[in-house]
Amino acid sequence: DGGITQSPKYLFRKEGQNVTLSCEQNLNHDAMYWYRQDPGQGLRLIYYSQIVNDFQKGDIAEGYSVSREKKESFPLTVTSAQKNPTAFYLCATGTSYSGNTIYFGEGSWLTVV
């Protein structure tokens, strides 16, 4: 089945812990993105990657880290330095061959307990 898979769907983090959100795609898209969504706010870009082994900070990268070792995978680590991590996290992928359209996964809910 083709698409973008995010896991886990729900994740609880204790204070001071790092957690990693997974994003895997089999669409053969070059670009991958991580967004954060909070109530009443638009999607905000955390990190993005256009090619393997390269990524750039978005607008709210502080307290987050990523890697892009494979074309199919773009995991996001929420570190203990992120002071307000409770949010809905969305992974997206795209390519110029899709007319620059980006497509989203189903999202991951992260809650700090």
Strand 108-112 to strand 10-13: parallel, antiparallel, or no bridges (unpaired)? parallel
- Least distance from other proteins to the Cβ atom of residue 76, Å: 14
The rounded distance, in Å, linking the Cα atoms of 19 and 92 is 19
Contact letters (x/-) for other proteins, 54-73, by CB under 8 A? ----x---------------
- Binding residue for other proteins (CB under 8 A) from 11, 27, 45, 60? 45
- Least distance from other proteins to the Cβ atom of residue 91, Å: 8
The rounded distance, in Å, linking the Cα atoms of 82 and 66 is 14
User: Which of 91, 87, 85 has the alpha carbon at shortest distance from 105?
Assistant: 91
Does residue number 86 form part of the binding site for other proteins (CB under 8 A)? no
